[in-house]
Amino acid sequence: MSQFDVTVIGSGPGGYVAAIRCAQLGFKTAIIEKYSTLGGTCLNVGCIPSKALLASSHHYEELQHFADHGIEVAGDVKINLQKMIERKQTVVDQTCSGVKFLMDKNKIEVFEGVGSFESATSIKITKNDGTSNVIESKHTIIATGSKPSSLPFITIDKERVITSTEALKLPEVPKHLVIIGGGVIGIELGQVYLRLGAQVSVVEYMDRIIPGMDGALSKELTKVLKKQGMKFYTSHKVKEVTRNGNAVTVKADDAKGKELVLEGDYCLVAVGRRPFTEGLQAEKAGVQVSERGQVVVNDHLQTTAANIYAIGDVVRGAMLAHKAEEEGVMVAEYLAGQKPHIDYNLIPGVVYTWPEVAAVGKTEEQLKADGVAYKAGNFPFRALGRARAGGDIDGFVKILADAKTDEVLGVHMIGARCADLIAEAVTAMEFRASAEDISRMSHAHPTFAEAVKEAALAATDNRPLHL
């Protein structure tokens, strides 16, 4: 029977990063993955493939505006969706192969099959052909991730009524894509097909899209996407989804009970994700799972079984790949006797639409609810020379700082390159910078990053230089 110091169940960003860090720290490490490729949801049917399609569709959209730059495209520009999907899969395959390389490089033993507990130290691995074997592990890290959620009355047929997984490989561009859920997944995939020519309608239960982010970001993204042609039905509760041949009907009621009926050829159900623990047999190891399906953990991500830990989507907190990675590293270092720490307030969130949306720290709504005295500084991208030169003038940067100490409490931005720009805000807040600290840092000109400096100037004493 093979014996290991640490075994990781699940090879998504949290799992494989945890395994790498464990190996770096000298632990004999194994990783168990039920699918034939490593990388979990993120690499196979989540972050990576969706960004590949967003990039391809963005290139197509940009072609429509080449004439503005004095570039004339001869002939009609056509979409080859199959080629686009094939390229997406190539990106996925290359990325997953990269994870396999990292496993080999770090001498991590990879087991293919479903991992389930026989006891707190014994893990059974059941292969696809039904055969199984058992390994012993001193410590185990549960990193089994999440699966798409649905609504009880919706039948996901994976053909016309689909989840994000099927939306990444549609055989055609929808004529009318109805999306249930105005969160990150729905909005990103909605923009992909909107760019390719689909009519896109978003039905959201809350009163705004991306409801977990600052209200100003939601308002601006709604305005921009409406301008691009996306339709929104917020404050609507979906009550029925039916399919008749190639037609899908979605019925919903607004806040006053008025019925909305939308007819489409595809319906994407994007109402969030749920923790995935099926087949884990956590109870055999003494691991408690909550009513919501989350593995119960303490501040060290330790489960109710002292030698077993859990990270990522399967535990409390935001379902983000980079959050899972940080947790994987934290558990590995904790097992090595170190004293790692994660400030969950400084885990950034990003929406990879164009314009991109990114945020870290407290929202304005949260500060108001907590009774925190704050000041805000805003700066629009359209006031930047670099933004005008590139034609990306939508959006703004907003910095929230403590009214007395000037410490930055939150940064919220929407615009070009914001997915990368947010790292500056995370760095500043990690070292408890003030708005004035950021305003006095030199930012290269012309860049999009200048908007961060200008917003800091606006927050410091309302003196942006270019507005």
Residues taking part in catalysis? 445
Instruction: Tell me how far apart the alpha carbons of residues 392 and 382 are, in angstroms, rounded to a whole number.
Output: 8
For residue 37, the Cα-to-chain-centroid distance in whole angstroms is 20
Joined tokens for residue 128: 């696809």
- At residue 192's C-alpha, the angle toward residues 66 and 208, to 5°, is 115
SS3 letters across 147-166: EECCCCCCCCCCCCEECHHH
Which residue type sits at 312?
G
Instruction: Tell me how far apart the alpha carbons of residues 326 and 18 are, in angstroms, rounded to a whole number.
Output: 9
Contact 135, 30 (CB under 8 A): yes
DSSP state, 431? T
Instruction: State whether residue 195 is helix, strand or coil.
Output: helix
Which residue type sits at 234?
T
Q: Give the length of the chain.
A: 467
Contact 424, 452 (CB under 8 A): yes
DSSP state, 74? P
With CA atoms as reference, report the closest residue to 252 among 281, 272, 232, 266: 232
- Residue 40: count other Cβ atoms within 10 Å of its Cβ: 30
Residue 406 phi/psi, 5-degree rounding, is: 70, 5
Instruction: Tell me how far apart the alpha carbons of residues 147 and 279 are, in angstroms, rounded to a whole number.
Output: 14
Pinpoint the alpha helices (H) of 25-128. Answer: 40-45, 47-63, 81-105
Which residue type sits at 193?
Y
For residue 243, the Cα-to-chain-centroid distance in whole angstroms is 29
Instruction: Tell me how far apart the alpha carbons of residues 421 and 356 are, in angstroms, rounded to a whole number.
Output: 10
137, burial (CB in 10 Å: exposed 0-12, middle 13-18, buried 19+): buried
Joined tokens for residue 440: 């006095």
- Residue 188: count other Cβ atoms within 10 Å of its Cβ: 20
